[in-house]
Amino acid sequence: MDKLLEREVTYVKGVGPKKAELFEKLGIKTVYDLLQYCPRDYVDLSKPTYIKDTMPGAEEQVVLRARVAAKLPPSHIRKGMTICKAVFTDDTDDITVTLFNQEYLFSSLKEGEDYVLYGKITGNMLRREMNSPAVFPANSPDLIIPVYPLTAGLTQNALRGAVKNALDLIEDKIEDTMPRAVRERCCLCTQAYAWENVHFPRTLDGAHEARRRLIFDELLIYSLAVGYNRIMDTNLNSYPLPPRSLEDFRKSLPFELTKAQMRAIGQIVTGMNGKQRMNRLLQGDVGSGKTVVAAAAAYFVHMSGFGTNNFVQSCVMAPTEILASQHYKTFCRLLEPLGMKIGLLTGSLTPKNKREVQEAAQRGELDCVVGTHALFSENSGFKNLALVITDEQHRFGVEQRAALAAKGGNPHRLVMTATPIPRTLALIFYGDLEISVLDEMPKGRKPISTYAVTGELRERAYGFVKKQLDMGHQGYIVCPAVDENEADLIDATSYYETLSGGVFKDYRLGLLHGKLPAAEKEDVMERFKAGDIDLLVSTTVIEVGVDVPNATIMFIENADRFGLSQLHQLRGRVGRGDSESYCVLISDNRSQDNIRRMKTISSTTDGFRIAEEDLRLRGPGDFFGTNQHGLPAFKIADLTRDIRLLEEAQKLSKEILDEDPTLEKPDHAVMKELVKRLTEKGAEMT
């Protein structure tokens, strides 16, 4: 990148230290940042409204073209406050314009000359007024005015002036980031044109063309960074595992693997045989059987070192103790009969038990350790960690995952997620991984019937829940809050007390939420799994991985407060046995968006279709229910709106890297520098 663009924003004429502090609040530190700071909207001064057609009190601002009919004497109402008024006309009606402390602007207005005004209409139908509008000469060449997001203390004029000075500064001095041949093939304008026209376009079409180029730049550089990092990750396979048959594992299962599971296991095993370490995402809808695939991977690691001097281990990291305990029990059930030794490491263990597990793992006495964040504590370690399996990895920070991987000396990596992710978003978030998709449900899984109703039908819905409980089944009631102090929502704690002493007083209820001590949470879940609790009142702590085949009814309060993908995850806690299962969503939100959301979740159990709609409605930052770790903070691009451009950028990125894997060609030099700069900023690509 040109050194001029790297200079601090104070290098721009008119930007002193105080103004630079305001710019920094907007993320603007350099000349480049300033040029990349795009307007949020434009005002088209070429299409004025007649004064007679304006509506006083309306929220929107309007454009008027009118001449000065009369200027009134200024009024000094108090020290430091001068009010200047002028009457404008466009021959359809008059309007009085008031300027506060703008004597210079007022003095520049000339009676009989035309101006363009932009502001809100106040007053009434008999006497329209406009206070402190933006005023432009009628013959101004700039008839499309940029409107920027601001911070307190910074005006539109100050920002526009700084951008204009920055553009003058770089005129004819900057090398385009993209080779000409690539620009022409993708029908993109030059970077100079893009910067000029995104800020000061002659036409709105020009602004659209400029913005398209800058969005494409941002998406292309990110896509190149992901691909480049993947190529540069030349870490050789530290644990080249020889082929081993998994036939005894398959035969030991009490069910038949699906074709999708067999395919995924084959891809994982092949990856661990290769010259480089395996990096693979295992993506599948709720109930598609990811845990069994993970167990097969752990067993393959065990078998590859069995009977040799190359003893190797695996570990599984889960985001909650509930899920870690469940994985531990599943792995014990599937793998201990085959000779594997499994350990559990969570924060709630006593110091003595935790130390025993840690020391056993370090001595190589455990083939696989399942745990939570306790796995990457300083005291935890392994003898030869060949495979790290991370479940629902977006729930961990980047540093946590890196700390765990560092314990193994470059182990293979398998990432699992039960959150269906649109492919384009998966390529951004998991772009450095190969992807395996479980797109087939195990035999016997029945679709879950889903009903969205208002609170008016709550009593009837309670009756439906009772019917399921009376049949010997169990159920969940999910609330968005833990206690009444959190928000104006139905909370689990008080709701549990109300239901226990009221409509469900004849049933055994349990309460589960994230604020309970770990031992108490474990006890509640064990009693629920054992059938000692009929109805579990919970927060979203049960969202991921909880497996109770006898649970057939999911009842969700304030359903409008959850994302579609989160509702789909919660719904997946039922329907895990042989009985018909149901999900009831309660919401009194009658907005069109929410009605559409409730119709979507009620009409399909296709997680990928639901994910596409969730992405469209909520945007990528909130796609998983809370702000996402690892998603890039694009300045211009919007993954909800610019999916098609993202696909184009990803395709071009692949073509460029296929031709020039290390971006060594002179034409790619600027792009390579931007790629390295992005990587250094900490984008998640490893």
Give the start-to-end residue ranges of the domains of the chain.
46-139, 247-438, 449-604
CA separation, residue 630 to residues 374, 523, 562, 677 (Å): 21, 34, 21, 17
d(C-alpha 133, C-alpha 389), whole Å: 60
- For residue 632, the model assigns a pLDDT of 59
Q: Mean pLDDT over residues 540-557, rounded?
A: 84
- Residues of the chain by 3-state class (helix, strand, coil), percent to 5: 40, 20, 40
Residue 26: is it exposed, middle or buried by C-beta count within 10 angstroms (0-12/13-18/19+)?
A: middle
Q: What is the mean pLDDT of residues 11-39?
A: 94
Q: What is the pLDDT of residue 375?
A: 83
Beta-ladder partners of 82: 76
Q: pLDDT value at position 650?
A: 87
Residues of the chain with pLDDT > 90, as a percent, come to 51
**What are the backbone angles phi and psi of residue 554, rounded to the nearest 5°?**
-115, 125
Instruction: Locate 662 and state its tokens.
Output: 């290390």
- Does the predicted model carry a pTM greater than 0.85? no
Task: Decide if 247-438 and 449-604 have a common fold.
Answer: yes
Predicted confidence at residue 511, as pLDDT, reads 94
Quick one: DSSP state of residue 501? T
Is 1.20.120.790 the CATH number for 449-604? Answer: no
Q: Is the pLDDT of residue 686 over 50?
A: no
88-122: burial string, b at 16+ Cβ within 10 Å, e else: bebeebbbbbbbeeeeeebeebeeeeebbbbbbbb
Average pLDDT of the segment spanning 456-476: 95
pLDDT of res. 387 = 93
Q: With cut-offs at 50, 70 and 90, classify the pLDDT of residue 618.
A: low
Q: In this predicted structure, what is the pLDDT of residue 424?
A: 63
Tell whether the model's pLDDT for residue 213 goes beyond 90.
Answer: yes
Residue 255 neighbours by CB distance under 10 Å: 10
Which two tokens mark 563?
Answer: 């994302």
First to last CA, the chain: 24
Q: Is 365 helix (H, G, I), strand (E, B) or coil?
A: coil
Averaged confidence pLDDT in the chain: 86
Query: Of 573, 542, 395, which Cα lies nearest the Cα of 480?
Result: 542
pLDDT surpasses 60 at 659: yes
Out of 231-245, 496-510, 643-657, pick the least confident: 231-245
Contact 312, 304 (CB under 8 A): yes
Q: pLDDT category, 257, cuts 50, 70, 90? A: very high
The burial class, CB within 10 Å (0-12 / 13-18 / 19+), for 277 is buried
d(CA 23, CA 43): 22
Among 311-325, 496-510, 594-608, 667-681, where is mean pLDDT lowest?
667-681
Retrieve residue 168's tokens: 């003058």
pLDDT at 427: 67
Tell me the residue ranges of DSSP E strands in 454-602. Answer: 474-478, 509-512, 535-538, 551-556, 582-586
Kindly tell me if the per-residue pLDDT of 683 is higher than 60.
Answer: no
Q: How many CB atoms lie within 10 A of CB 496?
A: 22
How many Cα atoms occupy the beta-carbon half-sphere of 225 within 13 Å?
25
Mean pLDDT of 525-548: 86
pLDDT at residue 287 is higher than 50: yes
Write out the CATH class of domain 247-438.
Answer: alpha beta
Q: Which of 249, 251, 248 is nearest to 293 (CA)?
A: 249
Range 46-139 has CATH code 3.40.1360.10: no
By the 8 A CB rule, do 50 and 56 touch? no
The Cα–Cα gap between 370 and 346 comes to: 8
Measure the CA–CA gap between 313 and 383, rounded to whole angstroms. 8
Mean pLDDT across the stretch 247-272?
94
Q: Is 5 within 8 Å of 174 (Cβ atoms)?
A: yes
pLDDT, residue 189, reads 95
398 vs 401: CA distance, rounded Å: 5
Mean pLDDT along residues 456-466: 95
539 alpha-carbon distance from chain centroid: 21
pLDDT of 531 > 90? The answer is yes
Has residue 398 got a pLDDT over 50? no
Over residues 168-182, mean pLDDT: 85
Mean pLDDT computed over 499-523: 91
Render pLDDT for 478-491 as a digit per residue (tens, 0 to 9): 998 887 665 668 88
Residue 619's pLDDT is what?
60
**The predicted structure's pLDDT at residue 56:** 95
> Residue 682: what pLDDT?
46
